[in-house]
A and B are shown apart, each in its own frame.
Chain A
Amino acid sequence: MTDSKYFTTTKKGEIFELKAELNSDKKEKKKEAVKKVIASMTVGKDVSALFPDVVNCMQTDNLELKKLVYLYLMNYAKSQPDMAIMAVNTFVKDCEDPNPLIRALAVRTMGCIRVDKITEYLCEPLRKCLKDEDPYVRKTAAVCVAKLHDINAQLVEDQGFLDTLKDLISDSNPMVVANAVAALSEIAESHPNSNLLDLNPQSINKLLTALNECTEWGQIFILDCLANYTPRDDRESQSICERVTPRLSHANSAVVLSAVKVLMKFMEMLPKDLDYYGTLLKKLAPPLVTLLSAEPELQYVALRNINLIVQKRPEILKHEMKVFFVKYNDPIYVKLEKLDIMIRLASQANIAQVLAELKEYATEVDVDFVRKAVRAIGRCAIKVEQSAERCVSTLLDLIQTKVNYVVQEAIVVIKDIFRKYPNKYESVIATLCENLDSLDEPEARAAMIWIVGEYAERIDNADELLESFLEGFHDESTQVQLQLLTAIVKLFLKKPTETQELVQQVLSLATQDSDNPDLRDRGYIYWRLLSTDPVAAKEVVLAEKPLISEETDLIEPTLLEELICHIGTLASVYHKPPSAFVEGSRGVMHKRLPARTGSGEGTECPDVGNAAGGSAPEAAPSIIPSQGDLLGDLLNLDLAPPTTPAVLLPLMGAGFGAAPAVMPASLNAPVGGGLGDLFDLGGGVGMPMGAYIPPKTVWLPAMKAKGLEISGTFARRAGVIQMELVLTNKAMSVMTDFAIQFNRNSFGLAPAGPLQVLTPLGPNQTIEVSLPLSTVGPVMKMDPLNNLQVAVKNNIDVFYFSCQYPISMLFVEDGKMERQVFLATWKDIPNDNESQFQIQDCHLNSEAASNKLQGSNIFTIAKRTVEGQDMLYMSIKLSNGIWVLAELKVQAGNPNYTISLKCRAPEVSQCVFQCYEAVLKN
């Protein structure tokens, strides 16, 4: 008998005919008719008009027919709720049937009918089925609780089904346990804070026992559930790991991946010197490699996950490079993923093999794949220094092929290689220049222009080359325009005589004829720099660039941790947290890896959630990237739109969304004359005094610097930061040729001009110089934060010293926050970021204090008096855009002030407090 004929009925009046057939007396005819109805339903025809007729067929002892009717009911019940009620009786009756298969079928189907009235009738049969003697019925009922919860969560709670479900975790049948776990896990996801699953060592033990006995699917449910548990200490963690490792040999890849997830998570808690830790690492590699012999779709899922695992624990697969070699017939999605992992695993030991492979791939057909292979060669060069030369020559070979997209991709990566190894491979520039005309992609054009600008002095016809780009300036993309602007300015600074016309041309193109604000801004900056101080311009534009980092595309560590907790799931395939693609509250809870806890200490951790949550100290926002290369100097502007503000902005920008949170009650309640009056304090109360300048101290004693003594201080005058230096020559000979340079520092301080010591400094002579500073220099986090390392050079030698600057000189003039913004920001900054300090022995009243502070750009926004205590609310803005909010409590007659500081970057609080103390006491 064939069923395909049911798909072919397309006549008009079909519904009418079907109706007649459904009501036929002959069983066979009825069944035929229902089949036709289902076939029409499948292809998308609306057969809901037949509802009563189909439901009439439900009362039958023919199971096949019954199942078909149920299928129809599940589809249409929602659109015909009143008629669906007609089916209830049959369901209830079926739930009492002596055949367990029919009981289960009834309860399974009933749960799929999302009609309130039916749901009411479901409760009693469901309760019975949850306690049925037959495990098949119980396992079906367990899932049904989750269905019911999806329709009416309240009902499930009220009826006590959740408790019954919890009891099923101790059921004797492993499949019942697995389904109960699955249902509970799903319900728990929509109640993130309920302690529904209540995982404790006893229940975990039950799960681990069931794990050995249930179906492959059940094992997945249990492992995924286990992964949410946080063991109390390393011993428990190890014992769970020991019982999970056998799963790594399961034929089902999903079981393997879920086991890997549990192990990766629990490993976090094991001490690294433990023997078992090493054993576990070794055990993880083979199953991961085996996943690569699965079907391509699964390979893809596995590779996406391996990509995460390699980032988290590179040691696991470091010897397995070969298995990631691309096969000619791999589907493209597998090829691209393998390539990614190859680059991550590339090291000095295997680089020769990797390069040979990559070169092979670069000749394949698929354009995306070839591009990625070329890019990978560049990344190898940057990652493994020893291979750089070979990589460059490989890239040159590829450029010789003249395949357009290969050439372009190669030029983009060669630019990066130049930045990583300056002054090493410039001999290839000539070859690159030959291909200038074939470049039609913005990225490649921009890269080429960068190279020409950067090495203008070595390219004879650099001006002609750049000029040729200038002709179509307005048709270029922004990336290319910005690059061209900078490159020509560079060229001008290097060869000023021949290129004056060119630079004027580009500046006017950028500033006058362009409506792109970024381009105009950059044009103006260059124009002013060049017209006011060419020397400074040279230092800014041609300053030494920080080297680029090796790993540019690593997943951010907190996200990586979260994704590790989601191994095997969609999140790990997309490399995105579930909240990015799941709607509603389900599964949006962020997961974290557990922290390491020794069995000795801290075993009592009542709240599992908290224990897990407290594990990632790096989650706190940090203002300053600890590596210099994250935040470039001004020259980074070359390659992308200005990065300095871009990195910092989100930190403060995020603060302005008015999210309700705890805030000091005092700010909320209108006391006294009402907030309105108080907040009017604002602008010019009293005369602003000059900024506080600390007294000069000796930074470099004469004996350490061959007779040169340097003392000095920092000041902020009219918005300009100045380093005021006193140079004393205590040696016998004359000193000349002074110059100064700073090391990278927390706030990017750098000399804005050369050190102006024009006359030679004779023996026993003293000279005072003032050096203006800018805050656009390279950034690196220092300890303490306000530490500055300085090098001073004269005709005798170079001397180094370090000094600390008062952070107050970084407080900018426009640091006065709007009241509303202040309120919102204060609320928005988490309370963890608040720090409190005491200032002792200060005898100013609140107004004097406020005036004094304003002189140093600490602005009082509001003042309030409560029970003789003055509360001052103040804001400060640092030169890198970070806001600090302060609450100062001054009590009349009490010389001790209390100050609370709130900032998104709590690291600065200590320094700010020091400033308060210094300003108020002087």
Chain B
Amino acid sequence: MIGGLFIYNHKGEVLISRVYRDDIGRNAVDAFRVNVIHARQQVRSPVTNIARTSFFHVKRSNIWLAVVTKQNVNAAMVFEFLYKMCDVMASYFGKISEENIKNNFVLIYELLDEILDFGYPQNSETGSLKTFITQQGIKGQTKEEQSQITSQVTGQIGWRREGIKYRRNELFLDVLESVNLLMSPQGQVLSAHVSGRVVMKSYLSGMPECKFGMNDKIIIDKAGKGGVTNEAGKSTSGKQSIAIDDCTFNQCVRLSKFDSERSISFIPPDGEYELMRYRTTKDIILPFRVIPLVREVGRTKLEVKVVIKSNFKPSLLAQKIEVRIPTPLNTSGVQVICMKGKAKYKASENAIVWKIKRMAGMKESQISAEIELLPTNDKKKWARPPISMNFEVPFAPSGLKVRYLKVFESKLNYSDHDVIKWVRYIGRSGIYETRC
């Protein structure tokens, strides 16, 4: 199991050091600093073995978090734990920075005592942790409150406490997708996928039982089997369904029920949380197409022309569009002309950055640039990194649609249609690259 956890600043000074196992000595702290943080070359692996001791690390801004062990631990669990630890810290005191860590080191030790016991991850739900790790002491609690805390921490529904009350029952659903693309210079899609998340903010009283539905092909097909045939079912509903390759759920979702009936039912945590993640690869709407044209004129000049085309309904607007065109290392000067937005050569980033605030669907825009190069005797060719793009569109590129979210709370007297529900779709670029 996890033998210990260290947190370092960018210089390699220890900010937090908590050892859980006897086989981890003080020298382990230094071993990691010397061999990884102060190592000269780039980190080649997130798992390092130094003298039969294994170190797992992640970095958050310039803070290093390292788990150390001498046993054959579950490596996936260790990383999941590290991410979770970061989430918990962030929700307690915001950004993970040296200053914040130093300011909250007592709290962090207290959390580490609770989240890990003898190196075994225990309870890492911020919701329940906040009920009893408050930095205020727990003196004032009544007996009922105490047992409520312990039953929530250990119980089946560790993510929600009893007795929540809202005057207005309301919920927000955000379908957040990031669309990833790798395209060849000729416009052939090499790989494309959407990874999406359904984030829910719930402000509901009591212990509501929820059921979530979307236009997943399998669910619709399953429903169709009931009465009419599949095809008839589809044509009557008139809605298009999408094929989800795979999805994963928050721990509140009853997985066995999803496995047998494909129904997504759960009791939601209070406040904001991620209900599910999913991935699709078929019939993706690619919001933008990038057409690059790079021409080398002699040894000291490059001519670049890039056209972007928006490919969605003209009534919709894409925002925060940014096209990043890499330039060679030996660039001496750049002249840019663009029809729309602003373009700038950023020498420190070796790229031309072209920004457009807004762009409607079915439009086209173009940039052309002349890049002057310094003559070099470096034989190595320029690797031509791909042109990347960022944007935000108000629809889900996978085609996913929320069909319903039903809320049942039998004990309290509010029903499904008393709940105010909001749904929003945001499609963002993930790694959206076109080779040139």
Nearest-neighbour CB distance to chain A for B388, whole angstroms, equals: 8
Tell me whether A64 and B135 are in contact (CB under 8 A): yes
Nearest-neighbour CB distance to chain B for A754, whole angstroms, equals: 53
Contact A322 to B120, CB < 8 A, known contacts A134-B150, A254-B74: no
Tell me whether B70 and A583 are in contact (CB under 8 A): yes
Does B315 reach chain A (CB closer than 8 Å)? no
Q: Which one of A63, A221, A566, A569 lies within 8 Å of B120 (CB-CB)?
A: A221
Nearest-neighbour CB distance to chain A for B187, whole angstroms, equals: 14
Does B49 reach chain A (CB closer than 8 Å)? yes
Does A216 reach chain B (CB closer than 8 Å)? yes
Tell me whether A217 and B122 are in contact (CB under 8 A): yes
Tell me whether B149 and A150 are in contact (CB under 8 A): no
Does B42 reach chain A (CB closer than 8 Å)? yes
Tell me whether B109 and A402 are in contact (CB under 8 A): no
Tell me whether B103 and A2 are in contact (CB under 8 A): yes
0 or 1 for each of A202-238: is its CB under 8 Å from B? (1 = yes): 0000000000110111001100100000000000000
Tell me whether B79 and A220 are in contact (CB under 8 A): no
Q: Which of B247-255, B365-373, B390-398, B416-424 is the contact stretch?
A: B247-255
Contact A143 to B150, CB < 8 A, known contacts A35-B106, A251-B249: no
Q: Which one of A137, A212, A220 lies within 8 Å of B256 (CB-CB)?
A: A212
Chain A residues with CB under 8 Å of B75's CB are 301, 568-570, 572-573
Does B143 reach chain A (CB closer than 8 Å)? yes
Contact A7 to B156, CB < 8 A, known contacts A286-B246, A302-B76, A581-B52: no
Complex Cα distance A254/B191, Å? 26
Tell me whether B258 and A570 are in contact (CB under 8 A): no
Does A846 reach chain B (CB closer than 8 Å)? no
Complex Cα distance A251/B190, Å? 27
Complex Cα distance A293/B193, Å? 10
Residue of A nearest to B57 (CB): A297
Q: Which one of B14, B71, B72, B110 lies within 8 Å of A44 (CB-CB)?
A: B14
Contact A325 to B153, CB < 8 A, known contacts A250-B248, A290-B246: no
Residue of B nearest to A577 (CB): B72
Does A48 reach chain B (CB closer than 8 Å)? no
Residue of B nearest to A293 (CB): B195
Nearest-neighbour CB distance to chain A for B145, whole angstroms, equals: 10
Residue of B nearest to A260 (CB): B76
Complex Cα distance A290/B75, Å? 17
Q: Which one of B72, B74, B103, B259 lies within 8 Å of A578 (CB-CB)?
A: B72
Residue of A nearest to B158 (CB): A215
Does A836 reach chain B (CB closer than 8 Å)? no
Contact A146 to B118, CB < 8 A, known contacts A258-B74, A289-B279: yes
Tell me whether B49 and A574 are in contact (CB under 8 A): yes
Tell me whether B110 and A67 are in contact (CB under 8 A): yes
Chain A residues with CB under 8 Å of B193's CB are 323
Chain B residues with CB under 8 Å of A144's CB are 118
Chain A residues with CB under 8 Å of B403's CB are none
Does B228 reach chain A (CB closer than 8 Å)? no
Does A147 reach chain B (CB closer than 8 Å)? yes
Complex Cα distance A329/B388, Å? 11
Tell me whether B105 and A301 are in contact (CB under 8 A): no
Chain A residues with CB under 8 Å of B120's CB are 143, 179, 182, 217, 221
Q: Which of B232-240, B288-296, B300-308, B379-387 is the contact stretch?
A: B379-387
Does A100 reach chain B (CB closer than 8 Å)? yes
Q: Is the interface of B mostly helix, strand, loop or mixed?
A: mixed
Contact A363 to B137, CB < 8 A, known contacts A257-B76, A332-B42, A332-B44: no
Tell me whether B106 and A62 are in contact (CB under 8 A): no
Task: Find residues 55-84 in chain B having any chain A CB closer than 8 Å to their own CB.
Answer: 56-58, 69-77, 79-83
Complex Cα distance A68/B57, Å? 26
Q: Which one of A42, A137, A328 lies within 8 Å of B16 (CB-CB)?
A: A42
Does B335 reach chain A (CB closer than 8 Å)? no
Q: Which of A170-178, A388-396, A667-675, A913-921 is the contact stretch?
A: A170-178
Q: Which one of A140, A290, A332 lies within 8 Å of B117 (CB-CB)?
A: A140
Tell me whether A249 and B259 are in contact (CB under 8 A): yes
Q: Which one of A101, A174, A295 lies within 8 Å of B149 (CB-CB)?
A: A101
Residue of A nearest to B430 (CB): A293
Q: Which one of A246, A295, A357 lies within 8 Å of B259 (CB-CB)?
A: A246
Q: Which one of A134, A249, A251 lies within 8 Å of B258 (CB-CB)?
A: A249
Task: Find residues 63-80 in chain A having any chain B CB closer than 8 Å to their own CB.
Answer: 63-64, 67-68, 70-71, 75
Complex Cα distance A402/B433, Å? 28
Tell me whether A295 and B79 are in contact (CB under 8 A): yes
Complex Cα distance A217/B104, Å? 25
Tell me whether B255 and A249 are in contact (CB under 8 A): yes
Q: Which one of B103, B190, B277 lies within 8 Å of A4 (CB-CB)?
A: B103
0 or 1 for each of A790-810: is its CB under 8 Å from B? (1 = yes): 000000000000000000000
Contact A224 to B74, CB < 8 A, known contacts A135-B151, A289-B279: yes
A sample of 28 cross-chain residue pairs with beta-carbon separation below 8 angstroms, ordered by A number, consists of A3-B102, A7-B105, A42-B14, A63-B137, A67-B110, A67-B113, A99-B146, A100-B146, A101-B146, A134-B150, A136-B150, A139-B154, A174-B156, A175-B123, A175-B153, A215-B125, A249-B255, A256-B76, A257-B74, A286-B245, A298-B80, A325-B182, A333-B43, A360-B435, A403-B381, A568-B77, A570-B71, A586-B71
Interface of B with A (CB < 8 Å)? 1, 13-17, 19-23, 26, 29, 42-47, 49, 52, 54, 56-58, 69-77, 79-83, 99, 102-106, 109-110, 113, 117-118, 120-125, 132, 135, 137-139, 141, 143, 146-147, 149-151, 153-156, 158, 182, 184, 190-191, 193, 195, 245-251, 254-256, 258-259, 274, 276-277, 279, 379-381, 383-386, 388, 431, 433, 435
Interface of A with B (CB < 8 Å)? 2-4, 6-7, 35, 38-39, 42-44, 61-64, 67-68, 70-71, 75, 98-101, 105, 108, 111-112, 114, 134-137, 139-140, 143-144, 146-147, 150, 173-176, 179, 182, 186, 212-213, 215-217, 220-221, 224, 243, 245-247, 249-254, 256-258, 286-287, 289-290, 293, 295-298, 300-302, 322-323, 325, 327-329, 331-333, 353, 356-357, 360, 363-365, 401-403, 566, 568-574, 578, 581-583, 586-587
